[in-house]
Structure 1
Amino acid sequence: MTRSVMVELVGGRLSLALLVWPLAVLVLLACALLLTGAFSLLTGSYGLSAPDVLAVLRGTLPEAVAGTVVWEFRFPRLLVAMLAGALLALSGAILQGVTRNPLADPSLVGVSQGASLAVVSLIILAPQADGALRPFAAFAGALAVAALIQAMSGARTTGATMRFVLTGIGMAAFISAVTSTLLTYGRIDGALSALGWLAGSVHAAGWNEVRALGLVGAMIVPAATWAARPLGALRMGPEVAVGLGLAVSPARVGLITLSVAAAAAAVAAVGPLGFVGLVAPHIARRVAHSGPGLHLALSAATGALMVTLADLIGRAAFVPLQIPAGLVTALMGAPLFVALMLRAQSRQNL
């Protein structure tokens, strides 16, 4: 029998039964994330040793250049990679649960496409605009398109989930076509700048992005704790969820809104990072089967590790050339996506 531990909260009025193996895997993922982060702080064109980095973090290293490299470039970049990966994976895990579609990811609800269209439009049509407006434009575009898809698919029927999926696919294809048109017929310098953002990179991330993602994460974590209960009911189907006393339509709207907000914040900060929201929840499910709450935590840790590792590989593989993290996650995620498709097909044939 699988071992579990009881956790009592609120003076014993709330108790949770947590499985030991998923908790152990979560600790291992946290250790791997810390180890990857340590290598990330050491890696770059400016060489630093582990004692140098520790001295900088403690504020005892007198060398100003080392302090600037760590505090102004590598450390915020590391934090942004962790936060963006965790938010994207959390978004994908919630979306896969609420739609009961194992191949769902944030791009399904138009988050990546809406953000891309907003930023490309700003760069191509308003080249004189301040570059600091791009994250705000990306966030607004992602939320607007996702809200439009949700409104178009908001039928109060049992097929609302499938309607939502199909509407998202169609809208995403249309927005991608508009974005491609702007890139094709826009100015060359603007198109090149837009393509750099579309590649998905954390190399230009700073403390502003850390504060923004940290604020979103602080709001998302309590909401994700609430999301565990309705996700557990919805994974058994809307009819069973209604029988368990869940208001299916409000719960579905709230979960999708939570998923969109998490992904929109991440995409606005670093651009679209392919396959993170799709693959991270599957990896978390493969390494440890658990309930909805622990699955969300495992998915977030896996996504953070994926993006941090992708950024480290992109930075260290061809020094001094830096490969955007989005390209690395695509190279990592595409084979896994094909494996998932083949696995799903083999199960259907059994």
Structure 2
Amino acid sequence: MHAEEIPGMSRLLSDLGVELPVLAAPMAGGGTTPELVVAAARAGSMGFLAAGYKPAQLLAEQMRTVRAEGVPFGVNVFAPNPVPVSADAYSRYARTVQAEADRYGLGLSDSAPREDDDEWAAKIDVLVGSPVPWVSFTFGIPDPAVVAALRRAGTTVLQSVTTAEEARQAAQAGVDGLVVQGPAAGGHSATLTPDRPLASVSLPDLVAHIRSTVTLPLVAAGGIGTPADVAAALHAGAEATMVGTLLLRTDESGASAPHQRALADPAFDTTVLTRAFTGRPARGLRNAFIDRYESLAPAGYPAVHHLTAPLRKAATAAGDQALMHLWAGTAYRQAVQEPTAQTLRRLTVLL
């Protein structure tokens, strides 16, 4: 089915030749690869490169790789919205998790809090100087001047939101559309208030609420695992949907082998929201690290992320799933080993 044949499908997609109302979400940290983005586009969908946690130069290189394939694509950027952590809270947590780091010879407790903006200005310069069809923002809403500069460059600008109030703020900033993320999503929540609990709401209900609040086009994300989930989100008022976790086991995924195995392992039987790994709420498979440290972890992003990053990297290299951040949404059991194109297409069989 073509985009123009789908009721409510936004011209933002159809003008790019996108046929499927299921997009490939950006997964920072390696899950999304240029190959996955290209495969999504060739399937009639569109994917987003993840700018988070990578140097601006590497982002530019990946953009060139995808652009050389002649397909439309987007880029997702972490907008600065830091959660400061006190030196005392940081030091206590560093000393606590040092027990896990000792097995890998890592001195986490000697580190000082690292606060940075993930090369924000440099990445905006790359995107303004070498425009892509779509850019989306997560964690924070950029200054309206940044939104305006991207739009002048010919880019459609999206903002990730988790509530109607966030949707209103994004609309005031001048964005073209919204990615509505429900609490069932894997990985980091896009919430603008990470120090507050996430509301428990179904994705269709959240979409319907935001649809009644703003008139911007909506892309629904979070917990989508079946064709029925896609249909429900579109019926609620979304122009398209977006999936991430379901693509983690695809042929083009960059997720680590231990992560991919965990998604299919019966021993991992639930997902939980945790800030134990990064100091910011994120959903992943429940494991020993979360059980031990969730109640002790301070809010503090990106400082806590940088603190635990060496431990998570060492654990991944060793295949130690007990200490890894196994990001996953609630529909993780629907992730299977197959080409990206097959995953995206099978989600539209009811449309």
Confirm or deny a common fold (TM above 0.5): no
The structure with the greater share of residues assigned to strand is 2
The structure with the greater share of residues assigned to helix is 1
TM-score relative to the length of structure 2: 0.25
Greater relative contact order (Cα < 8 A, sep 6+): 1
TM-score relative to the length of structure 1: 0.25
